[in-house]
Amino acid sequence: MKQMKMGPAGRRYIGALAAVLLCAACLAGCSASKDSGEKVRDLEFTVTGEMETPQELKDMIAQKQPDPFKLTYTDSQNLYIAVGYGVQPTGGYSIAVRELYLTENSLVIRTELLGPQKGEEAGGGQSFPYIVIKTEYLESPVIFQ
């Protein structure tokens, strides 16, 4: 077997490459801190009505409304979060926001679809329940639960 000899330039190149790879591995380990999912603070929000919902978001909702959807929209001042539960057999459904809070690296929202109350007139025909909430503008990713 013939062995190849490497000159000083080749050794410097391999040394530099090894140093870069070592630095990259160290930085990846440092920056990959996981979000523990622990609540940092609750977020205040308001449920927006038809008039307060931005038109662009209303258009997006109209396209997705027959199916369940989860959307976010920002106007650089506020963050809007929309959650829809798709087609339901009757009216009388509502949506409750159970939690909206900030973690170290994300915003978490948990909603629940509530069916018609017993004895309540459910209304005829199908419905497409959804909710739009407005909260402070944050650049954190939204996690839907």
CA angle 116, 133, 125 (to 5 degrees): 30
What pLDDT does residue 122 have? 64
> 124 pLDDT band (50/70/90 cuts)?
confident
- C-alpha of 129 from chain center: 20
What confidence category does residue 117 fall into, taking pLDDT thresholds of 50, 70 and 90? confident
Answer with the residue of higher pLDDT: 125 or 90: 90
Predicted pLDDT of residue 17:
42
Asked, for residue 125, whether it belongs to a domain, the answer is yes
C-alpha 60/C-alpha 22 separation (Å) is 46
Q: Helix and strand tally (H, E) in the chain? A: 2, 8
What is the average pLDDT across 108-137?
88
Average pLDDT of the segment spanning 5-30: 45
Residue 8: pLDDT band (50, 70, 90) is low
pLDDT at residue 118, as a whole number: 76
Token reading at 26: 């160290």
Residue 36 lies in a domain: no
142-144 and 107-114 beta bridge pairing: parallel
pLDDT at 18: 44
Total domain count for the chain? 1
Give the domain range for residue 75. 41-144
**Domain membership flag for residue 54:** yes
- Taking the complete model, does pTM exceed 0.75, yes or no? no
On whether residue 18 sits in a domain, the answer given is no
Residue 130 lies in a domain: yes
Assess if residue 15 is contained within a domain: no
Q: Considering the chain, what percentage of its residues have pLDDT values greater than 90? A: 63
What is the pLDDT of the chain when averaged over all its residues? Answer: 82
pLDDT exceeds 60 at position 14: no
Is 9 within a domain? no
- Out of 20-34, 69-83, 100-114, 129-143, pick the least confident: 20-34
